[in-house]
Structure 1
Amino acid sequence: MTAQEPSEAPLGIQQLWTIVGTIIAPTSMITALLYYFGWHHAYWFFDYYGVNSTVLGFGTTDYLMRSLDALYVPLTVTAGAALLVLWGHELLRGRLTAGAELRVVRRALPFMAGIGALLTLGGFWSVLSRAFFLRDFLVAAPLSLSFGVLLLAYTLHLWRALPDRAPDEGTPTPEDEDTDEDTNEDPDSGTGGTPDPPEPPPSPPSTPRPAAAALAEWGVVLVLVGLGLFWAANDYAAAVGETRAREFAAGLPGYPYAVVYSADSLSLTAPGVRETRCRDSKAAYRFRYDGLKLMLQSGGQYVLVPERWSRADGVAVLLPRSSSVRLEFAPPLADSGASRPC
């Protein structure tokens, strides 16, 4: 029995990674991906409050830090799944030469190919139609595409690695031959023994695939799987950003008050925000605003929201940092405007 050279597929992968590493610097690629997912996380976080994140002046460091919240779960799950797949492949590869296990693998290949084709079709359908039901579940559509392509590629890899002719029920295995030698009588004794079946003719040697074909195949697989994983991480980053925004809104009562002092009236009319005008005409800050909570400071401006913010009537306030504005912070359980001078 002959099997295809196992070095063909890994050779294609090695050549592909060499080309990718030559064209794209790994550090630059990773930084760009982290920046993108951090931007996506920030966009959907502030979109929940009706703020376009591009006006906040975030820098590269801000986006890179937000990308950790968006990617650590996908990276952990992907790394764990890859480790399980590698262990499973090593276990299966050691059983490809055994008779019974080989027959099971051959019979399982059509089912694996069918499942992979269905998953791939579902992923492509989700790309073409936004109304497809997989779109209703987070990262289901992109993972369907990635897993489907991987399963098809792995099924084809197993099929190529199998011997050209697998033993079946009628072909004697070495254990069966030993049993026959014990039970059959000696042909020279004159009694009728069962003659051994003729050996099948040797299979012609398989022709190795061209390196260019292996390289192109693994390149297409890498592109489809990479796009699916990128799509999944993109959807997950958006979902995490919105989830963090909901958590922040729910925890507003427990955050410190941000008392704003201003030299001029800011005309803040948000629900729950109180304006107090100081009586001292010589005061540097003649207006005080209570009932606000600081969300963050970025790009030379403060982002504040009312304590009783809601999606129905809540607003977000972008206040530029300047010498005419001063912030003081008070414990969350205290009344931000009680006995507080101007």
Structure 2
Amino acid sequence: MPRRAGTRGGETDRNTQAGELPRLWQLLLPIVAPTTVLAALMIYLGSVWVNARLRHYGLTPDVLDLSPQDYMLQSPDATFRPLLWPLLAIVLLGPPYVLFLSRIAGHATAARRVAWAATGLGVLACLLGFPGTVEVVRYNVAFPVVPLSILVGVLLLALARRLHTLTGRGALRLRAEAPLLYTFWSVALVCVLALTLIWGVAYYVLGEADASARAVLSDPYGLPRAVVYAPERLHIEGDGVTETALRQTRGEAARYRYRYEGLRLLIHANDRFFLIPVCAAGDRPPRAIALPDHESIRVDLFRPDRRRDPGCP
């Protein structure tokens, strides 16, 4: 009998531990899932930022071969701010939305009128943005009209569905009579909201990257200053780039014989230094100079300093 009691006690302990794991996962899931999605969004937006900036110099993702961590570290400012704004809007608009629904729930007639108005405006907004998705219509503006129009339209349609639910019509009837269709409708609604939101944020990041690239092209002095030492002539050319033959004493076997100044470090990736001339604004088209990160070539990097480089013509 004591042996059986001990066995039951061990089984109880194991069952208790096994039961704690699902509860622990339920506690961690609301934290782990959003964090994973946020990290994936930062990697995607970081790739948009980096590739949009460097494509002006003919650099493609295949040439750079950056890792996901590199994309996140290369563009923290470009990803934090556009991701923070939608999340902050959800936090700030959530309580007023709940308060609005609680107040209008007791007025069925007003709720139905608002629902039909939201439906009409939502369809109109979607019709405004949808032609842009298939490039039937092109809006020559810097503002992301297409994704935001669809986003606003879908939000209005979601509001209309919620109001119809409060009045006991529409969504409740569809849910009762066609539950599978209602599920697909709800999933599609959430997916469209997510895709249009990401599209709009990526559009903003793309515009900021182009502006940053143009600023660097017009004034590369803000980039780190690079001085290159090489054993042989590298024939680095560009406005503001100077080549200096280093003096050697008789019988001396110097490792480096040439020095190149007037360069700025654009990025270090794929075991290579990508440099641009300090007067890159005069290059048409802009170009980057790739040097291997090898012991045969030395690259000294310094903080930006206009006084160390000659003036541009």
Q: TM-score, normalised by structure 1?
A: 0.70
Q: Aligned equivalents of 1:207 and 1:42: distance in 2?
A: 46
Q: Aligned equivalents of 2:134 and 2:285: distance in 1?
A: 37
Residue equivalent to 1:332: 305
Q: Aligned equivalents of 1:126 and 1:132: distance in 2?
A: 6
1:152 Cα shift? Answer: 0.9
Q: Specify the structure having the higher radius of gyration (Cα).
A: 1
Q: Aligned equivalents of 1:124 and 1:151: distance in 2?
A: 15
Residue equivalent to 1:230: 198
Q: Is the 8 A contact 1:46 1:53 kept in 2?
A: no
Bigger mean CA offset, 88-97 vs 295-304 = 88-97
Residue equivalent to 2:290: 318
Give secondary structure in 1 for the equivalent of 2:59.
Answer: coil
- Gaps spanning 5+ residues in structure 1: where? 1-17, 165-204, 338-342
1:46 Cα shift? Answer: 0.4
1:29 Cα shift? Answer: 5.0
Is structure 2 residue 142 aligned with structure 1 residue 152?
A: no
Bigger mean CA offset, 78-87 vs 317-326 = 78-87
Residue equivalent to 1:302: 273
C-alpha spacing 1:336/1:132, structure 2 compared with 1 (3 Å): closer
1:304 Cα shift? Answer: 0.9
1:264 Cα shift? Answer: 0.8
For residues 57-88 of structure 1, what are the alpha-carbon distances to aligned partners after superposition, in whole Å with 9 as ceiling and x for unaligned?
32221012245433322322212322344223
Q: Which has the higher contact order (CA 8 A, sep 6+)?
A: 1
- Gaps spanning 5+ residues in structure 2: where? 1-25
C-alpha spacing 1:308/1:76, structure 2 compared with 1 (3 Å): same
Q: Is the 8 A contact 1:96 1:162 kept in 2?
A: no
Q: Aligned equivalents of 1:94 and 1:233: distance in 2?
A: 31
Q: Aligned equivalents of 1:247 and 1:119: distance in 2?
A: 35
Residue equivalent to 1:56: 64
Q: TM-score, normalised by structure 2?
A: 0.75
Identity rate of aligned residues, in percent? 27
Q: Is the 8 A contact 2:64 2:269 kept in 1?
A: yes
1:91 Cα shift? Answer: 1.6
Is structure 2 residue 185 aligned with structure 1 residue 217?
A: yes
Q: Aligned equivalents of 1:118 and 1:45: distance in 2?
A: 35
The structure richer in helix per residue is: 2
Q: Is the 8 A contact 1:70 1:236 kept in 2?
A: no
Instruction: Give, as a single letter, the amino acid of the residue that structure 2 aligns with 1:92.
Output: F
CA RMSD of aligned residues (A): 3.0
Give secondary structure in 1 for the equivalent of 2:87.
Answer: helix
